[in-house]
């Protein structure tokens, strides 16, 4: 927090605009659209709400308005990022869709365009793709966009973690037909909660505003002709977001410094930081992560709830490092567990491209077919990445990691 946030919160209080309309909301929508390089932004209660309305609108545009009580993509497959938080694809399920997970590529740890192309060969009827940018590091979004265009599919861009990041000089959140950004408490800027739907279509913005206010019709009485939601952002939350926006670039610079200190401090160890295409993208460095070289992994096993490892000289694993970091009251986390490995989605189709160019769609990958997401999950971990972390605190974390390999 920088101080300007409380000014706008107080303004909402003193003018008595405490609900879901007001100057703060108007300004957040204006700034969000301007920053992302799109025409319209709709301020909502959270990024998941924004993604839900993206999926709902895309479904109705593709397939027509469903009967009341049915989802816009009900019974239809939707291609989704595999290595992401489940909030990326939950809205697909809200609308009755069937997620089909697309494997990850190693260059950016995001959706693999080659696997997406394979997915369209297997399921040519699919017309909707939901792709996320992991940890603030842009995926190959122009290639993903091109694949979607070739197959007549709409692209929803989950830029929850990547606000302020660019790909080929263009802001993430501006490549998709519709996109969503997040102001959750841990994001690059925050409102404690909140998010925005981004679009270049006035029709989409207007529809999102209507749906997010319980789909009330333009009548003096409360008239409803379709199902709506209570998704609008409060003017108080918007005050926090409004006060944070001037510091977006400062926060990105701080996050970049954290990532670079890790990269420098871990030199000589058999590890590498989360990757990106340095000639194409500028991440916002929201979350610093690392991956251990295969030959430097000690034995590690994990089930759905617990993890165990066997210490070995000169080697380590995510479980050992995370336990060591936790011992000094700092927080690290495993990499997002891929969606195709989640208990509720283990029977969903999962598309990965093998070395021979074939794709497998079974949830349990047969031997000889590389599952990139599962491998990154096995060997990767997220490091303490607070932009308020001091160099001295980060040096302690780095030293603890180095000791794990002794």
CA angle 366, 78, 116 (to 5 degrees): 55
Longest dimension (CA), the chain: 74
**pLDDT tens for each residue of 206-242:** 999 999 999 999 888 899 999 999 999 999 999 999 9
Q: Which of 49, 101, 238 minimizes the C-alpha distance to 57?
A: 49
140 is catalytic: no
Q: Which position among 35, 140, 187, 207 bears the catalytic label?
A: 187
Question: Given this model, what pLDDT does residue 353 score?
Answer: 85
- Residue with the larger pLDDT of the pair 363 and 347: 347
Residue 179 has pLDDT above 50, yes or no: yes
CA distance linking residue 112 with residue 123, whole number of Å: 16
**pLDDT tens for each residue of 266-292:** 999 999 999 999 999 999 999 999 999
Question: All domains of the chain, ordered by start, with CATH?
Answer: 4-247 (3.40.640.10), 249-338+370-404 (3.90.1150.10)
**pLDDT tens for each residue of 78-91:** 999 999 999 999 99
The Cβ of residue 342 has, within 10 Å, a number of other Cβ atoms equal to 14
Mean pLDDT computed over every residue of the chain: 94
pTM for this entry: 0.94
- Using CB atoms within 10 A of its CB, is residue 36 exposed (0-12), middle (13-18) or buried (19+)? buried
Residues above pLDDT 90, as percent of the chain: 93
**pLDDT tens for each residue of 297-314:** 999 999 999 999 999 999
């Amino acid at each position: 927090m920088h101080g300007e946030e409380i000014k706008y919160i107080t303004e909402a209080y003193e003018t008595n605009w405490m609900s879901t309309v007001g100057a703060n909301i108007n300004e957040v929508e204006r700034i969000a659209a301007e920053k992302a390089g799109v025409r319209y932004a709709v301020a909502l209660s959270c990024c998941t709400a924004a993604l839900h309305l993206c999926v709902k609108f895309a479904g109705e545009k593709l397939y027509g308005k469903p009967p009341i009580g049915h989802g816009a993509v009900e019974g239809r497959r939707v291609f989704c990022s595999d290595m992401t938080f489940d909030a990326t694809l939950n809205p697909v399920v809200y609308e009755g869709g069937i997620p089909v997970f697309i494997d990850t590529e190693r260059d950016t740890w995001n959706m693999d365009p080659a696997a997406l192309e394979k997915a369209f060969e297997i399921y040519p009827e699919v017309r909707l793709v939901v792709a996320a940018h992991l940890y603030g590091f842009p995926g190959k979004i122009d290639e993903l966009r091109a694949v979607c265009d070739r197959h007549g599919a709409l692209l929803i861009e989950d830029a929850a973690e990547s606000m302020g990041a660019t790909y080929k000089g263009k802001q993430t959140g501006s490549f998709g037909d519709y996109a969503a950004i997040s102001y959750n408490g841990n994001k690059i800027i925050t409102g404690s909660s909140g998010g925005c739907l981004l679009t270049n279509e006035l029709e989409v913005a207007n529809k999102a505003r209507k749906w997010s206010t319980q789909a009330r019709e333009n009548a003096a009485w409360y008239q409803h002709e379709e199902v709506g939601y209570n998704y609008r952002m409060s003017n108080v939350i918007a005050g926090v977001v409004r006060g944070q926006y001037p510091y977006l670039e400062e926060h990105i610079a701080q996050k970049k410094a954290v990532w670079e200190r890790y990269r420098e401090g871990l030199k000589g160890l058999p590890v590498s930081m989360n990757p990106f295409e340095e000639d194409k993208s500028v991440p916002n460095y929201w979350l610093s992560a690392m991956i251990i070289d295969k030959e430097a992994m000690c034995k590690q096993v994990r089930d759905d709830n617990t993890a165990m490892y066997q210490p070995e000289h000169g080697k380590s694993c995510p479980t050992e490092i995370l336990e060591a970091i936790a011992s000094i009251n700092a927080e690290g986390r495993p990499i997002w567990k891929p969606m195709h490995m989640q208990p509720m989605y283990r029977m969903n189709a999962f598309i990965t491209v093998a070395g021979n160019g074939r794709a497998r769609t079974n949830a349990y990958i047969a031997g000889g077919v590389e599952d990139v997401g599962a491998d990154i999950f096995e060997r990767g971990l997220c490091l303490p990445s607070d932009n308020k972390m001091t160099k001295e605190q980060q040096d302690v974390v780095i030293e603890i990691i180095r000791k794990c390999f002794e």
